Chains A and B, each alone.
Chain A
């Protein structure tokens, strides 16, 4: 069945020339989405980081060496979304109104096909029961349910915030949400305001303008998955890194 083209395409543009790898987006994502802290022995392969920041470089020697940080979350693919097509449980859902790819943990069986299928490796598996230090569960976000061990998860552009914006719009008699009411946690937390979020179909929006600029690019564009997360950089060597498998590089580096 052919997927109908959503009216809106929610997406983001991440300015890599502004990102300095502070990791605030990762921490904000964890706070917003009730992602528990690591358990003993957890590493970069078994951790839960819906927004993960990778460090890359131009590969040159000191003092010409330069680094760049790539915040990588689910890219919200628009075409042939791999995780959707492999899920036997229909636990990956593409919102027909805005194109956001969401995980439905209640349906997930934990087969991890989606993780294998994801080309940017932005899906994570709950290997452990979610645990917070005693009392800290009182700081959990009531808009997001806690996921059980055994299910996959990923970025959903802060679905809880989208629902709150929708509720507000409905209460005010509007059909469309105001993007001032819907700012994903990583966007809000970025101290350099390196992330712009909005509707890519709205030609007047800042996100659409930046995404259509000559310095914008997407990860693994050659796969033709039409991701809705764009990156931009004035530096040509940074743009060339868009074809990199950062997660694999990181794992290889961790193994020495």
Chain B
């Protein structure tokens, strides 16, 4: 039989076959496989494989020193979490992404010369000897009018003592604790008490009056944040003084929106109320009469007129401080945002003394100093930056090896002599380090042992060690060893024979062990062991390297009389409380969590770039202010302060007080390690320190461009 296959038959067969195939899994499988194949290209990163282990260490990215458990794969950390009880809080954003920092694109890999030009800076690798030569030349030219200074970003470490020993042998040598660090307002208390060392005890306070400190934004230990934001019982009450509804003010029980620059008047107004409402207030003050006379005119009504805070709110706040004690009053000397100024800090610390909480649990407490790593002989002084003469520093060594704290560079710049040489030792070319002429790489977090001396918000002396979990990725220079090398190059004979920072830390731990004072807590299980029970200093060292936390015992406060006015001349008090109302005031606000760090994990773009949660450069005004200035949301404007002027994109926000410009820098593009549209912002440059060493607010103008 002959079968005729026509063209029509062929077409029908082909059509039927095509339709039939669609009813089989084949095409769908092909699509599936195609999808899988196209997801497995060679350039797609493959997560590491290996045995999973857990290791304990301590976060060294801020002074809080949180105990950390690292989940490691093949020995490398892939995630971090806070060790310890649930009510101790959790790691901040900076801390939980800290294992990324060793790989940060801004890592310094070798000593370099930074050539600053009008079109940005350029990095040129140089041998370490070249840097050393520049340092030695400046040391040779040192004197009282051309000082050698070390800007210590993390004062109190063992290596800080080594710096001071070296500087003592150099004419005019001085160690400057970073003015951007937290807790510097406690210096005011030391001046008021005449002697001794003090700390604060927020962990036991029931009420905290905070003058702008970002308690809920990464300030201090995370326990405070946890208690504030609703621990099991939420037993902490917060009164926040701030001209904008920050995340902390939002969490506060009482928000006192005071005009910027009027904090001193507000503190004296509260002092006025405490003197009259608290039995025995100020009884130990040698200058009670003068204080009483000064605060006489700061009645609630007068303060309300100056600050904008209703008189009834002030009275309510004072009553809460008295009734819901122990109460603690803290000045907002937070990282980046900076201090409130010496006079204001004295007025604020005076409230603690009036409340009678000095020395009491939950208030301001006397605190022993950590033992030095060696016998303290002659040491260079530790001097606050605002006490340094302008244009007097010829060589500035920035020790940012354990964490840089960005600050308005103008604050430091005015202290530098002509053609001053700046050398920075840091893991990253970011933040303050970018201003240096020479940079030297140091080890990043988790690459070496970092020392965490007493945090500013600890009521007792303490020490923690951050154990290394990864091999250093660069040939890092150790700060302790660097001090020794400078001494050798400058032919300075140092009495001690330390070799490295680790040597210094071990020496300090050994002295703690010798004293037999205090105890070590293991964060994983909360076990406490007395130092006196440890047979050797090595045992204490090992316990600390395993994540242990050494704490001293509580100190008894000296019952010496104190000066509520801190011996500050009346003219300065009057100047600080005068009505300096300006049409517009720019207020600087840098939350501690990621904004106040020179380098952060690139995944922080989730917060600053990939969502609208926070702006990388926030310049916000109240809609009422914007309308008065003829500006709209999103419009380009020129923000002018006495320090600088720059073009900004304006945001309107009802959370900002009318008449205030909220300036909040997020992490810079360099800090994030990613290239972002536009270059590094200069919001920090808009601010400069006033005569009291504060840079939190400045009079400003805003015009549309």
Q: Which residues of A contact B (CB under 8 A)?
A: 15, 17-24, 26-32, 34-44, 46-49, 52-55, 57, 59-63, 65-67, 69, 89, 105-109, 129-148, 150-151, 185, 188-194, 250, 253-254, 256
Contact = CB atoms under 8 A, between A and B. Distances in A.
Nearest to B225: A191
Contacts of A254: 612
25 contacts: A23-B604, A23-B607, A24-B90, A29-B606, A37-B603, A42-B605, A47-B605, A55-B612, A62-B622, A62-B657, A109-B35, A137-B46, A137-B48, A139-B99, A142-B50, A142-B52, A143-B47, A145-B47, A146-B44, A148-B40, A191-B89, A191-B222, A192-B89, A193-B226, A194-B230
Contacts of B230: 15, 17-18, 192-194
B524 to A, nearest CB: 15
Contacts of A105: 39
Contact of A44 (B96, B105, B610, B632): B610
Contact of A146 (B47, B81, B655, B657): B47
Contact of B604 (A27, A39, A137, A192): A27
A130 B610 CA distance: 15
Nearest to B669: A40
A109 to B, nearest CB: 6
A57 to B, nearest CB: 7
A134 B611 contact: no
Contacts of A30: 603, 606
A150 B38 contact: yes
Nearest to A164: B52
A114 to B, nearest CB: 15
A20 B49 contact: no
A40 B675 contact: yes
Interface in B88-107: 89-93, 96-97, 99-100, 102-105
Contact of B607 (A20, A27, A40): A27
Given A40-B677, A139-B76, 7 more contacts: A20-B250, A23-B613, A52-B613, A62-B622, A139-B100, A142-B50, A189-B96
Interface in B469-509: 473
Given A22-B593, A35-B603, A138-B76, A188 B610 contact: no
A254 B649 CA distance: 12
Interface in B22-77: 31-32, 35-36, 38-41, 43-50, 52, 73, 76-77
A191 B90 contact: yes
B216 interface: yes
A23 B96 contact: no
Given A24-B91, A26-B611, A31-B603, A142 B226 contact: no
B96 to A, nearest CB: 6
A256 B634 contact: yes
A254 B610 CA distance: 12
Given A20-B216, A40-B674, A133 B104 contact: yes
A188 B81 contact: yes
Contacts of B675: 40
Contacts of A145: 47
Contacts of A60: 654
Contacts of A29: 606
Contacts of A189: 81, 90-91, 96
B518 to A, nearest CB: 28
B548 interface: no
A192 B676 contact: no
A17 B231 CA distance: 12
**Listed residue (B47, B623, B675, B677) with the most chain A CB atoms within 10 angstroms of its CB:** B47
Nearest to B245: A65
B502 to A, nearest CB: 25
B609 interface: yes
B361 interface: no
Given A28-B96, A141-B79, A63 B38 contact: no
Interface in B652-667: 654-658
B172 interface: no
B638 interface: no
Interface in B444-479: 473
B131 interface: no
B250 A49 contact: no
Interface in B665-704: 672-677
> For B44, B46, B623, which residue has the most chain A Cβ atoms within 10 angstroms?
B44
A254 B614 CA distance: 12
B606 A26 contact: yes
B202 interface: no
Contact of B49 (A59, A134, A142, A253): A142
B251 interface: yes
Contacts of B297: none
A42 B603 CA distance: 13
B633 interface: yes
B93 A49 contact: no
B78 A20 contact: no
A60 B99 CA distance: 42
A145 B48 CA distance: 11
